[in-house]
Amino acid sequence: MASSSSSYVPALAAITCLVVMVLGCCWPVEARIPTTLDGPFEPATVPFDQSLRGNAVDLPEFDHRVRRRVKGFEPEQISVSLSANYDSVWISWVTGESQIGYNIKPLDPKSVASVVRYGKLRYPPTHEATGYSLVYNQLYPFEGLQNYTSGIIHHVRLTGLKPNTLYFYRCGDPSIPAMSEIYHFRTMPVSGPRSYPERIAVVGDLGLTYNTTTTISHLTSNDPDLVLLIGDVTYANLYLTNGTGSDCYSCSFPHSPIQETYQPRWDYWGRFMENLISKVPIMVIEGNHEIEEQAENKTFVAYSSRFAFPSEESGSSSTFYYSFNAGGIHFIMLGAYIDFTRSGKQYKWLEQDLANVDRSTTPWLVATWHPPWYSTYEAHYREAECMRLEMEELLYSYGVDIVFNGHVHAYERSNRVYNYNLDPCGPVYLTVGDGGNREKMAVKYADEPGNCPEPSTTPDEYIGGICAKNFTSGPAAGKFCWDRQPDYSAFRESSFGHGILEVKNETWALWTWYRNQDANSKVGDQIYIVRQPDKCHVRQVLKSWVVDI
């Protein structure tokens, strides 16, 4: 355990017996994993290990793990992502070479077919599906900046799949011929209160550094069934179009007319990740590093083009917000960098999506978006306050259990919280922006002397205006920051790493956070998150009417 046993309310023997009975496992009382029933916990901080600073170095373009290894129009950068339910998945890949320069000529996406052959047997495949393809460009309206055009990106949706079943597949164009090797994936279990994927990996702010490689190595060793990437994928926007990079773009290139990107790093990232995400589905939500502004004020083009999203299947008209089921968990992926106001399309979609959730089928409700609402680090402190003020009440009223965020390059776990107050029915907020990117880790806390930012410096231009104000009640009344670690912060540590969520049944889920610098099996933070649907006021649908229970 990361925190001392004195941080937890003493556990009764009856609760320990209940845990043993419910989960079918046994451990000594003194080694018992804490649960949210023991909380709220006294805030705990692990001091920063100074030896970890300065180690985030990007993989170079000549690293064998990011170089193009296929020929012609053979598929590469292959990945799997989920549809809204277990019976469908998306297969994505890239064919042909990208181009960067002053005289680029986009490939014709119609020149190569999008075909997936698949089945329950490794060979021969019994089914075939076709999809669509596209090419995107990253163009700049300034002389001297190089433009980019991608290879042909393919997305094919497989339907009619059986739950919790291993499928083998090949993708490509059989007429050239240019087909991939045989890969495999396993579908999600059927939705139900006793049906869950065994392990869900959660990571944010990944990038493509040597720290990233450690994160992915450790994550892979935990044998996940699903990967959630909570924004900030490649950090291609820390580079100029000539391939020159920096840990801090604005520091190194203060006179840039537009924030450039080096789009080949998206290709590097896709090649590096293929070994994992060609087998394990990955679900991604956008972060600020995916904005990537270009000519005609276009943004998020690489993000929206390279990944497949179950937007249409979940009733969304956008790649920036969508939902899906993984067994008895309903995931809601939200966009912080588009309109989130109550009059906007995203909010109205969220209202409808929440109203359609049947908690008897998907008891767990998990929400994700990139910038955290509850973070005590100086970096990005209260940056997304406008979004919180618009959406928090709605999420709380429907009983969201867990929220995953990134953006802050460190780890933090909250107590159950609502509107900055400890609340036994509020979500547990988990910040996992510690995947290993090139930017430095967040190590300063807003509650430490001299670290409280000026309110005018907190908003991000894409997340609204100045909404964060001084607290009006509680220990921090009249102040913008607490003068100690806030009560809502249960545990925090600056370190690269990743998390694993294991939902055991309709009320118990085990959350484990692993540090990069530790052995794969060593735990940095661990807790059972326990739902209490009988005690918490939750809205849900009953006979087509929204009611309170």
Distance separating alpha carbons of residues 305 and 496, to the nearest angstrom: 28
Which is nearest to 380 in space by CA: 418, 410, 407, 414? Answer: 407
Rounded CA separation 374/482 (Å): 13
Token pair 């867990």 in the structure block, residue: 402
Determine whether 293 is exposed, middle or buried from the number of CB atoms within 10 Å of its CB (0-12, 13-18, 19+): middle
Q: Are 16 and 29 in contact (CB under 8 A)?
A: yes
Contacts of 274 (CB under 8 A, 6+ apart): 76, 77, 78, 79
Give me the catalytic one of 154, 218, 289, 380.
Answer: 380
Rg (CA), the chain: 23
| Total residue length of the chain | 549
Which residues are registered as beta bridge partners of 167?
185
The structure tokens listed for 366 are: 């998990």
> Could you give the CA distance from residue 216 to residue 45 in angstroms, rounded to a whole number?
25
Q: Is 380 noted as a catalytic residue in this protein?
A: yes
DSSP characters over 491-544 = EEE---EEEEEEE-SSSEEEEEEEETTS-TT--SEEEEEE--TTTS--EEEETT
Please say whether the dihedral angle defined by the alpha carbons of residues 219, 225, 229 and 234, taken in this order, is positive or negative. Answer: positive
Catalytic residues: 380
